[in-house]
Structures are given as C-alpha cells and as structure tokens.
Structure 1
Amino acid sequence: MQTPVTFIIFKRPQTTEKVFEAIRQAKPTKLFVIADGPRTDREGEAEKCEATRAIIERVDWECEVIKNYSNINLGCAKRVSSGLDWVFNNVEETIILEDDCIPHPTFFRFSEELLEKYRNDTRVATISAQNLQFGRKRTNYSYYFSRYNHCWGWASWRRAWQHYDLTIKLWKEVQAENLLRDILVDPKAVSYWRRIFQSVYNNPTGITWDYQWTFSCWIQGSLSIIPNVNLISNVGVGADATHFTSNQEFSFINMSMQAMEFPLKHPPFIVRNLEADNFTQKTVYKATALDIFKEEVKKRLNYLAMKK
C-alpha cells in the first residue's frame, strides 16, 4: 500500500499490538509513529511506554518507519495535534489510526481510493472508518456524506488539516455571529455543541484534540465521508484509557465490523445525508462528550484528593 499510515501510540502495548498487526497486514510503504512520553507521577508508566514503542521495532516488511517520540508527557491534545502537524508537514495525505482502534482490512483500500478521488475536492475534509448508524442503511452507494468527522480510524489531506487550530481562536466570533445555528439548525444541537466548544476554548490543551478538528471542519463548511458499513472497532475501554476508563455502556465501543465491497459505488452527488446526521446527533452526541468531560473532572478530583 502506497498511502502513508500514521499510528498514534502511548502506553498500551496490548491494544497497540492488535492495531499494529492490522497495519502489518496492510504493509504500508511508509509508517509515521507519534508517541507521547510518560507522566512522572504515574508509577510504571515509563515501562509501559517503552513496551509499547518496542512493538514498532517489529516491522518486518519493506517500510520506511518515521518516529516522533516525545520524551516528556505533552498530554492528549498537544501530542496528537503536534504529531499530526508534523505528519502533514511531511506528506500530503495519510491514513490515521490510534492505538485502540482496530480497522477492518478493507478500510485501507477504501481510504486509499477515496484519498485519490477527492484529493483536490475541498468540499471533503475527512474519510472515516466509523459508521454509527447501527445497521441502518442510509444509501445504496458505498458511502455517504456527513457533517460529523468521526476520528476512530480516518484519513485526510494536508489541504484540510491546514485549517486545524488547537485553541479554536475563532470561537468567540462564531459565537457572536451565532454561526452554530446556521451550521446545525436544531436548537438542541446548537446548545449541546456550544457547551462543548466553550469548554474547549476555556481549556484548549486539556483532554481532547478532536473537537477542535470538528470545529475547524465546520467553519470551513467541509463534509466527511462515512462508509455504509462500520470499518472500525474501538477496544480501548479500561483503566489505561485516556477517556473511557470505566465500563460505560456506550454502544459504539467494540462495535462489530463488516467488509467494504469493491469496486466502490460512488454517489453521483456531494450532499450531506440529513437523516443520518440527525440520528447521530440524537443517539451519539447527546451524551458522550459531556460524559467524557465529567469522567475527566472526576479523575482530576480523585487525583487532587490523593495528593492531600
């Protein structure tokens, strides 16, 4: 496979090994690896980071491996965003996987073909592996277009990532002009995402990088490609996870996957699927983001209590 793959790792050798094996089967000719450093106050984390990085040394196919390893802990927001800045400074396009997202083998071909097809089409910003329609078929084509840029397995271009801003400095103007109303229409969705973006704006280097990516895509009027079947499974729930540290009953964790059929059936239009997006907003985004923030606040309070 000629398309570069970007692999984001940290301290979970068990899940990293599973994703690495999927990458190994695809055999990309170029592999970028982004790794954060251990936290000094977490016992055993340095050893976990070392064990995770050791997996990358198992590359046994013809592949140029390019590493960006941090010696210190930058945190999720800074590490992922700075790492992707580095990747897109080196290549025009890439497939991106995190250490807990296992892709279906057909995701690589799906991404590679669509990266080429929409390479110069600025209406499209991302190609996702994730389908959150829970078996509901939204189109007779291989994929549809969405406002939601799901980041559990995705691909993009430098031309799209150049608009990314970790600090979402345009939020105040977007808020003042009430632009979320123009983007989302639904008052409940507007209220929901206003809280999310305000939280990110108040603490841009906190626990997340991907809401900033959503914001960047929305203010550019960009669309995401969503496969008509789910091509990714997140296996990251557990004590070592950054966000989903407990067995929360989120139905999009450990989702089953299906193979993408080829040749791809391309839609003859680039129009957002309103029905699919409304379903996603009502079923997925009604809880997940706020639960993540609540989980992080709970973790920080527990940590402060332990230090006293």
Structure 2
Amino acid sequence: METPVTFIVFKRPQTTEKVFEAIRQAKPTKLFVIADGPRTDREDEAEKCEATRAIIERVDWDCEVIKNYSDVNLGCAKRVSSGLDWVFNNVEETIILEDDCIPHPTFFRFSEELLEKYRNDTRIATISAQNLQFGRKRTNYSYYLSRYNHCWGWASWRRAWQHYDLTIKLWKEVQAENLLHDILVDPKAVSYWRRIFQSVYNNPTGITWDYQWTFACWIQGSLSVIPNVNLISNVGVGADATHFTSNQEFSFINMSMQAMEFPLKHPPFIVRNIEADNFTQKTVYKATALDIFKEEVKKRLNYSAIKK
C-alpha cells in the first residue's frame, strides 16, 4: 500500500500489538509512529512505554519507519496534535490509527481510494472508518457525507489539517457571531457543543485533541466521509485507558465490523445526510445535566493528574 499510515501509541502494548497486526497485513510502504513519553509519577509506565515501542521494531515488510518519540510526557492533546503537525509537514495525506482502534482490513483500501478521489476537493476534510448508525443503512452508495468527523480510524490531507488550532482561538468570535446556531440549527445541539468548545477553550492542552479538529472542520464548512458500514472497533476500555475505563461509560466500544464492498459506489453529489447526522447528534452527542457534571469532574481530575 502506497498511502502512508500514521500510528499513535503510548503505553498499552496489548492493544498496540493488535492494531500493529492490522497495519502489518496492509503493508504500507511508509509508517509514521507518534509516541508520548511516560509520566514520572506513574509506576511501571516507563516500562510499558518501552514495551509498546518495541512492537514497532517488528516491522518485517518493505517499509520506511519514521518515528517521533517524546522523552517526556506531553499529554494527549499536545502529543497527538504536535505529532500530526509533524506528519503533515512530511506528507500530503495519511491514514491515522490510534493504539486501541482496530480497523477492518478493507478500511485501508477504502481510505486510499477516497484520499485520491477527494484530494483536491476542499469540501471534504476527513475520511472516517467509524459508522455509528447501528445497522441503519442511510444510502445505497458506499458512504455518505456528514458534519461529524469521527476519529477512531480516519484519513486526511495536509490541506485540511492546516486549519487545525489546538487552542481554538477563533472560538470567541464564533460564539459572539452565534455561528454554532448557523452550523447546527438545533438548540440542544448548539447548547451541547457550546459547552464542549468552551471547555476546550478554557483548557486547550488538557486530554482532548479531537474536539479541536471538529471545530476546525466546522468553521471551514467541511464535510466528512462516513462508510455505510462500520470499519473500526475500539478495544481500548480498561484501567490503562485515557478516556474510557469501563464499558458502562461509553456504549460504542468493541463494535462489530463489516467488510466494505468494492468497487466503491460513489454518490454523484456532495450533500450532507441530515437524517444520519440528526441521529448521530441525538444518540452519540447528548448529555444530561448529571452527565455534564460527571464529565467536568472527570476532566478536572485527569488534568490534575497529568499536571503532577
């Protein structure tokens, strides 16, 4: 496979090995590896980071491996964002996988073909592996277009990533102009995402980098490709997880996958699927007052732990 793959790892050799095996089957000719360093106050974390990085040394196919390993712990937001800045400074496009997201084998071909098809179409910012319609078929084509850029397995271009800003400095202007209402229309969705972006703006170097990517895509009016079947499974639940420590906290873990059929059937239009997006907003991006309170407490605790 000629398209470069970017692999983001940290301290989980068990899940890293599973994703690495999927990459090995695809045999990319170029592999970028981004790794954060261990936290000094976490017992055995240095050893876990070392064991995780050792897996990369198992590359046994014709592949140029390019590493960006941090000696110190930068935290999730800084490490992922700075790592992707580095990748896109080196290549025009890439497929991106994290150490807990196992892709279906057909995701690689799916991404490679669509990276080429939409390479110069600035209306498209992301190609996602994730489908969260739970079996609901939204189109007779191989994929639909969405405002939601799911990042559990994705691909993109330098031309799109150049708009990324970890600090989302344009948030105040977006808020003042009430642009979220123009983007989302639904008052509940506006309220949900206003809270998210305000939280990120207040603490841009916390534990999230992906909300900033959503923000960048939205203020550029960009769309994302969503496969008509799910092509990724997140297996990252557990004590070592950064975000999700139990299945009860997040219901989209360990989702089943289905093969993408080829040749791809491309939609003859660039139009967002509103029905699918409304479903996603109502089922994925929803929160009660108690959920919001619990999330804020968790973020503050995690951030405090990272800063120690």
| Seq. identity, % | 95
Query: Are the equivalent residues in 2 in contact too, given 1:39–1:46 (CA < 8 A)?
Result: yes
Q: Deviations over 1:54-97 (max 9, x none)?
A: 00000000000000000000000000000000000000000000
Task: Report the Cα offset of residue 248 of structure 1.
Answer: 1.9
Q: Which residue of 1 aligns with 2:163?
A: 163
Q: Deviations over 1:165-192 (max 9, x none)?
A: 0000000000000000000000000000
For 2:69 and 2:290, the matched residues in 1 are separated by 30
Query: Are the equivalent residues in 2 in contact too, given 1:244–1:292 (CA < 8 A)?
Result: no
Q: Which moved more, 1:276-285 or 1:250-259?
A: 250-259
**RMSD, aligned CA:** 2.3
Q: Pairwise mapping of residues 1-308 of structure 1 onto structure 2 (< 5 A)? A: 1-287=1-287, 294=294, 297-298=297-298, 301=301
- 1:161–1:280: structure 2 CA closer, same or farther, 3 Å change rule? same
Query: Are the equivalent residues in 1 in contact too, given 2:143–2:226 (CA < 8 A)?
Result: yes
Q: Deviations over 1:224-246 (max 9, x none)?
A: 00000000000000000000022
Q: Deviations over 1:152-175 (max 9, x none)?
A: 000000000000000000000000
- 1:45–1:292: structure 2 CA closer, same or farther, 3 Å change rule? farther
For 1:180 and 1:218, the matched residues in 2 are separated by 9
Task: Report the Cα offset of residue 250 of structure 1.
Answer: 2.6
Query: Are the equivalent residues in 2 in contact too, given 1:36–1:75 (CA < 8 A)?
Result: yes
- 1:117–1:301: structure 2 CA closer, same or farther, 3 Å change rule? closer
TM-score (structure 2 length as normaliser): 0.96
For 1:289 and 1:8, the matched residues in 2 are separated by 33
Specify the SS of the correspondent of 2:247. coil
Specify the SS of the correspondent of 2:133. coil
4+ residue stretches of structure 1 with deviation over 6 A?
302-308
Q: Deviations over 1:254-282 (max 9, x none)?
A: 00000000000000000000000000000
TM-score (structure 1 length as normaliser): 0.96
Unaligned runs of 5+ in 1: none
- 1:226–1:290: structure 2 CA closer, same or farther, 3 Å change rule? farther
Query: Are the equivalent residues in 1 in contact too, given 2:98–2:153 (CA < 8 A)?
Result: yes
Query: Are the equivalent residues in 1 in contact too, given 2:207–2:303 (CA < 8 A)?
Result: no
For 2:250 and 2:3, the matched residues in 1 are separated by 32
Unaligned runs of 5+ in 2: none
Query: Are the equivalent residues in 2 in contact too, given 1:243–1:296 (CA < 8 A)?
Result: no
Q: How many residues align?
A: 308
For 2:230 and 2:307, the matched residues in 1 are separated by 43
For 1:281 and 1:299, the matched residues in 2 are separated by 22
